[in-house]
Structure 1
Amino acid sequence: MSKGSDIRGTWKQRLAGKVVTVLIRLLGLTLRCRLEDPHGIRQLAQPGVPVIWIFWHNCLIAAPLNKVKFSGRAPASALASASKDGAVIESVVSSFGVKTVRGSSSRRGVAALIALKKALKAGEQLFVTPDGPRGPRYHLQPGIVKLAQSSGAPILPVRFTFSSCWRLKSWDRFRIPKPFSSITIHLDQKIDIPSKLDENTFESHRRKVEDTLRQGVDDLPEQEPVS
């Protein structure tokens, strides 16, 4: 398969995405979802206001289900990897009204960064999983900080907690909420990244964003017993 067709996705991958979407929507009908927004971040999610929403990769079911609840209906784009999995994700998020930019740190990274900056400049919201597409789990890649630094758009961390869920044995411990359980969406205070940073200060801001998004996480890799 050529790189171009891999990025666009095959009809099988698009079909798989549609099937996954139906399953997610059916599951969503059974869930109780509650928004916690102590800092009034939801008010920033207005059409024409560029912001960067971030959440961990293992919350890729909870996020699209609750998109309207925490980010409204403003035009939005999401970053998905230039892989077969990315093609399925692209199909899923498009069903929730979100466009897709394909790329990652290992493939089409520069092109993806340019496309994301263009989307922000056009006033779109962005949705990014900063530990994707292959981890390490809960490690915030520096690209998201560079994007906020160069664009001036604030980073808005979104955390999801589940009353009950299945955790897959994948690299990200992907979470599937159990039917009739509840999800709480936590909106943390926005984080602005200065345009000029030296190496040490850049890493300090990266860690600040990472630590904010790690709050409440109960399965950090460094806390797991060594086998």
Structure 2
Amino acid sequence: MMRPRSAQSAALAGRALHAYIAFVQRTTRFKPVIPGGRPWERSREPFIALTWHGQQMLSLAALEGAAQVAILTSLHFDGTVVTSIVERAGFRTIRGSGTQSRPKIQAKRAVPAFFQMRDALRDGTSILLTADVPKVPRVAGKGAVQLARASGRPIYLFAAVTSARLDLDNWDRASIPLPFGRGCILWSEPLYVRKAADDREIGLIAMDISARLDELHATAHQSLGRAR
């Protein structure tokens, strides 16, 4: 359980980061999104939105105009900061995170969070996740694919990038968007997962998601005229 002082610090950090992200959005010249390209413009069906962990700072810009969205956030301090940002933006949060370690499944609330997300999707709420296997950058895990199989809802991949940014040399290769640049948001076509999909098929879909996310981000950066 987070101590009161830590919770207060997370709330303050969330308030500051929310203000910064809003400032970046206001001062960035985003290229027009392809008409009808956003998931909620194509269908009223709830969806699973997926991007790389290190490229998630502009997720709120990508989801602008979407209704009934819940975002998965971890139980750690940084997850509490993200929760503060998300709730200030008017979206719900579901607390928990995936893990490759069986002993940590209970501590991270992986199973309860999965069922909360499945139920939210069935009830009409879309879900935003990051794709990476925990601490393994740019390798998509199976969690989102399993969620799509369990819920019957589609996965949409997205890239939200800016020409003005700082690219960090940390575990998730994070990009920090800067103000006064140009921006681009791209969405993929929907990806459905068969309810009968076995573990091999799920693994192949996860590999395909990795390749598609990389391609989507490369295309978004190329459209801004600055290669990564």
TM-score after normalising by structure 1: 0.83
* Alignment partner, residue 196 of structure 2: 196
Aligned partner letter, 1:193: V
Q: Contact 1:191–1:209 (CA<8 Å) still a contact in 2?
A: no
Residue 147 (structure 1) shift: 0.3
Alpha-carbon distance change, 87 to 45 in structure 1, aligned in 2, over 3 angstroms: farther
> Is 1:44 matched with 2:33?
no
Residue 38 (structure 1) shift: 7.4
Residue 209 (structure 1) shift: 1.8
String of CA shifts for 1:159-208, please: whole Å, max 9, x gaps.
Answer: 12332310123211211222211111111111000001223222121212
* Alignment partner, residue 27 of structure 2: 30
Mapping of 1:169-180 within 5 angstroms? 169-180=169-180
String of CA shifts for 1:102-133, please: whole Å, max 9, x gaps.
Answer: 1112311001101101111110111111116x
Gaps of 5+ in 2: 100-107, 219-228
Aligned partner letter, 2:150: S
Residue 217 (structure 1) shift: 4.6
> Is 1:18 matched with 2:11?
no
Residue number among 65, 70, 80 corresponding to 2:61 in the alignment: 65
> Is 1:208 matched with 2:205?
no
SS of 2:139's partner is: coil
SS of 2:190's partner is: coil
Residue 39 (structure 1) shift: 7.1
Residue 40 (structure 1) shift: 3.7
Alpha-carbon distance change, 73 to 200 in structure 1, aligned in 2, over 3 angstroms: closer
Q: Contact 1:131–1:137 (CA<8 Å) still a contact in 2?
A: yes
Q: Contact 1:39–1:189 (CA<8 Å) still a contact in 2?
A: no
Q: Structure 2 CA distance, aligned partners of 1:185 and 1:27?
A: 14
Q: Please say which of residues 160-169 and 143-152 is displaced more in the overlay.
A: 160-169
Q: Structure 1 CA distance, aligned partners of 2:66 and 2:198?
A: 37
Gaps of 5+ in 1: 219-227
Mapping of 1:137-176 within 5 angstroms? 137-176=137-176
SS of 2:31's partner is: strand
> How many residues end up aligned between the 2 structures?
207
Residue 153 (structure 1) shift: 0.4
SS of 1:205's partner is: helix
Q: Contact 1:35–1:186 (CA<8 Å) still a contact in 2?
A: no
Identity %: 26
* Alignment partner, residue 129 of structure 1: 130
Q: Contact 2:165–2:176 (CA<8 Å) still a contact in 1?
A: yes
* Alignment partner, residue 82 of structure 1: 75
Aligned partner letter, 1:204: L
Q: Structure 1 CA distance, aligned partners of 2:172 and 2:180?
A: 23
Alpha-carbon distance change, 208 to 38 in structure 1, aligned in 2, over 3 angstroms: farther
* Alignment partner, residue 120 of structure 2: 119
SS of 2:71's partner is: strand
Aligned partner letter, 2:68: P
Q: Structure 1 CA distance, aligned partners of 2:43 and 2:88?
A: 20
Aligned partner letter, 2:203: E
Q: Structure 2 CA distance, aligned partners of 1:172 and 1:14?
A: 23
TM-score after normalising by structure 2: 0.83
Q: Structure 2 CA distance, aligned partners of 1:207 and 1:124?
A: 26
* Alignment partner, residue 224 of structure 1: none
* Alignment partner, residue 221 of structure 1: none
SS of 1:127's partner is: strand
SS of 2:70's partner is: strand
Q: Contact 2:36–2:42 (CA<8 Å) still a contact in 1?
A: no
